[in-house]
Amino acid sequence: MEMRKERGLKQLPDGSWQWSYKDGAGVYHRHKARTKGEARAYLEKARTQKREGRFMEKRKENKTKFEEAVKRFLEWSETNIRSSTHSRDKWAARQWLGSPLLAGKVLPAITAGDVERFKQQLLKVPKKGRGGLKELPNGKWLFSWCAGGKSYRHVAKTKEQAKAKLEKAVGKPTEETISKRSVDICVARLKRMFSLCVDWGLIPANPAARVRLFREDRRRVRYLTEEEETGLLDACTPQLRRVVLFALHTGMRRGEILGLRWQDVDKKNGVAVIPAEKAKGKRNRFIPLNSVALAVLDELPASLDRTALVFKNSAGGEWDRLRKHWECAVFAAGLKDFRFHDLRHTYASRLVMAGIDLAVLRELLGHRDFEMTLRYAHLAPSRLKSAVTVLEPKLQKSCNPSCAETEAAGAPLTQTLDG
C-alpha cells in the first residue's frame, strides 16, 4: 500500500530528506536532513516556533519609493555607461515617471502585471518632434510643426481651432505613436533598473523579469534613394548639411561624429580615428575619408586648438540641438520612417551594391559581430550568383560526360539528345 505523503517532507533521489516551510514573512525555506525522522523533527520545531511567534524576525517592510529608485538608477547610469545610453535612460525615466502604474508606488508593490500594462500603455504615447497638438495647463492648445529647417509653435483657444490651423499649415496632422522598438528600449531599461534594485537589496526579485519585449526585427535596413538624398540635403541648414554629408560618406554614428575632434583627424592621409574609449566596440577605429568627407572638413573654420570639436555649436561645445534640426529637415523632406542612424545604413548599403566585400564592410563599420554585417548581404545577389558560377564547367562535365565529348567534337547538343 502506497504511503501517504506528509506535507513539508520530500525524499530526494540521493536518499536524503528535504523539509520546507514558510516563515512569518511569507518566505519559503528548504533544508536537507539525513533521515525522514530528523527532517520531521526539524519541521515540527520550526512550525512550533512560528506558532509561538518565536520563529525569526520578520523582514523590515521596504518602503523605497519608485522615484527614489529611478533617481539612483540615473546616477548609476551617468557614471557607468556611455553618454548616448544615459540620454536614452533619461528619456525612458520620463516615460516611467509619467505613468500612474509605476509612479508613486513603493517598489515591492509593483508587479509584473503593472509592467505589462505599462508596456501596452506606451504604444498609445504620441510621437513628438514633428508637430502636433498639446493641451496647456491654462486650457489652451499648443500646435507646432517643422518646415524648411525651422520649427513653429503657436497657441489656440480650442483644440478644434488648433487642429484647423495646423492642418492649414502642414496638411492633416499626424497621429503617430512611438514605435514598438522605442517601447522595447523603454521596457528593457526598466528591466535593467529593477535588476540593479535587486543587486542593491531594495527588492528580492525583478518584477519585470518575465515581461516579454516585442523584439521587432533588428535587421531593418532603411537607406536613401538618390532622390530622397537630394530632398533631404535641400531641407537641411548649412550646418546640418555638412554633418549629413559626412555621415553618408564615412558611415560614422551620430555620437562619433559629434564627438570627433581635430586631433583625431589626419587630413593629409585621409583618415579619422575614433579612440577606443569613445568607440562602441571599445577598440580604435580608423575611418578612411573620401574626397566628399575631406571637402566637408575643408569648409569648416580651422582651429588652432587641436582638442576642439570638429562639429560644434556657436559656443564651441557639443551640438546638442542636432536632433531638433534633424527632425525638422526630415519632416520638410517628406521622409517616412527615417532616422539619423539610417545614414549609416545608406553608407553600408551603397558600398555593398557597388560590390564591396562584406568582410571589408565589417572593418569599415567597426562591427565586432559579423552577424550585424550580414544584414546587408541581400543587397548583393549578383555577387552571390557570380560566386557559384565558378563551379559550372566542372559541374557540367561531372553530370554528363557525353555532352562534353559531343561539344568538343563540334556536334550540336540537341542532335545528340535526340539520338
Say if residue 47 is in the same domain as residue 161. Answer: no
Q: What is residue 102's DSSP assignment?
A: T
Count of CB atoms within 10 A of residue 45's CB? Answer: 10
Q: Exposure pattern of 252-280 as b/e (b: 16+ CB <10 Å)?
A: bbbbbbbbbbbebbeeeeeebbbeeebbe
Grid coordinates of 187: 521596457
Residue 14 lies in a domain: yes
Write the pLDDT tens digit of every residue in 179-238: 888 899 999 999 999 999 988 888 888 999 999 998 765 566 788 899 999 999 998 988
Say if residue 23 is in the same domain as residue 144. Answer: no
Grid coordinates of 173: 496632422
What is the predicted pLDDT for the residue at 101?
Answer: 92
Contact indicator for 12, 6 with CB cutoff of 8 Å:
no
Backbone angles phi, psi at 50, to 5 degrees: -70, -40
Say if residue 250 is in the same domain as residue 348. Answer: yes
Contact indicator for 111, 66 with CB cutoff of 8 Å:
no
What is the predicted pLDDT for the residue at 144?
Answer: 73
Put the strands of the sheet holding 265-266 in their side by side order: 265-266, 271-274, 285-288
What is the predicted pLDDT for the residue at 117?
Answer: 95
Q: What is residue 320's DSSP assignment?
A: T
CATH of the domain at 373: 1.10.443.10
Say if residue 107 is in the same domain as residue 249. Answer: no
Contact indicator for 328, 149 with CB cutoff of 8 Å:
yes
Residue 60 lies in a domain: no
What is the predicted pLDDT for the residue at 401?
Answer: 53
Say if residue 372 is in the same domain as residue 231. Answer: yes
Range of the domain at 261: 226-378
* CA torsion through residues 55, 60, 66, 68, sign: negative
Say if residue 195 is in the same domain as residue 304. Answer: no
Residue 57 lies in a domain: no
Put the strands of the sheet holding 132-135 in their side by side order: 132-135, 141-147, 150-156
Residue 400 lies in a domain: yes
Contact indicator for 9, 43 with CB cutoff of 8 Å:
yes
Torsion over CA of 2, 6, 8 and 10, rounded to 10 degrees?
-30
Say if residue 41 is in the same domain as residue 74. Answer: no
Residue-wise DSSP of 380-391: -HHHHHHHHGGG
Grid coordinates of 92: 525612458
Angle at CA 332, nearest 5°, toward 131 and 315? 85
CA distance 99 to 83: 25
Residue 399 lies in a domain: yes
**Final residue belonging to a domain, choices 199, 214, 248:** 199
Residue 213 lies in a domain: no
Say if residue 241 is in the same domain as residue 373. Answer: yes
The count of domains in the chain is 4
Segments of the chain scoring below 70 in pLDDT: 1-4, 23-28, 52-61, 126-132, 145-151, 170-176, 216-220, 281-282, 378-419
What is the predicted pLDDT for the residue at 418?
Answer: 43
Grid coordinates of 391: 563551379
CA distance 149 to 237: 6
Say if residue 25 is in the same domain as residue 164. Answer: no
Residue 113 lies in a domain: yes
Which residues, 6 or more positions from 378, have their beta carbon under 8 angstroms from its beta carbon?
Answer: none
Residue 237 lies in a domain: yes
What is the predicted pLDDT for the residue at 54?
Answer: 58
User: Residue 19 forms beta bridges with which residues?
Assistant: 9, 31
Average pLDDT score, the chain: 80
Say if residue 290 is in the same domain as residue 325. Answer: yes
What is the predicted pLDDT for the residue at 176?
Answer: 64
Say if residue 161 is in the same domain as residue 130. Answer: yes
What is the predicted pLDDT for the residue at 83?
Answer: 73
Say if residue 233 is in the same domain as residue 256. Answer: yes
Grid coordinates of 413: 547538343
Grid coordinates of 66: 519608485
